[in-house]
Amino acid sequence: DTEVTQTPKHLVMGMTNKKSLKCEQHMGHRAMYWYKQKAKKPPELMFVYSYEKLSINESVPSRFSPECPNSSLLNLHLHALQPEDSALYLCASSQGDGRGYEQYFGPGTRLTVT
C-alpha cells in the first residue's frame, strides 16, 4: 500500500467555523507533512511531524493547528480562517525525516473559506 489518503476531498467553511482535515498512511512512514498550494503556485511547506513530534512549523498562523495522534494519522484543525486561506491542502509522508527520502503525497483537500 503506497497510498496517502486525505479526507474530505472538498470543504467549504465560514470564517467562524471549526473544521478538521484528516490524512492517513499505512506505509510505516515516520515523517508526515502538511503543505498549502494556491493556484498557479508551488506547494508551500506548513508543518513537519517526525516520529509523531512537531519538528518544523513554517511560521504558520495559529488558526491552523496540526495534530499527530499516531504514526499513521495527521490532522489539521482549522478555526477562524480567512478567505485568503482558501487553497489546496496537501498531506505527504516519507519513510524517514532525513535527506534522500522521497515524499508521497495525498490527493489534497480543496478548501474554500467564505
Partner 1 sequence: DQQVKQNSPSLSVQEGRISILNCDYTNSMFDYFLWYKKYPAEGPTFLISISSIKDKNEDGRFTVFLNKSAKHLSLHIVPSQPGDSAVYFCAASKGNTGNQFYFGTGTSLTVIP
- Residues forming beta bridges with residue 32, ordered by sequence position: 49, 93
C-alpha cell at 80: 477562524
Contacts of 78 (CB under 8 A, 6+ apart): 13, 17, 18, 19, 20, 21, 63, 64, 65, 85, 111
Q: Does 84 bind partner 1 (CB under 8 A)?
A: no
Identify the residue among 24, 46, 68, 94 touching partner 1 (CB under 8 A): 94
Smallest distance from the beta carbon of 12 to partner 1, in angstroms? 17
Smallest distance from the beta carbon of 82 to partner 1, in angstroms? 23
- Sites of contact with partner 1 (CB under 8 A): 4, 31, 33, 40-45, 48, 50, 56, 90, 92, 94, 96-108
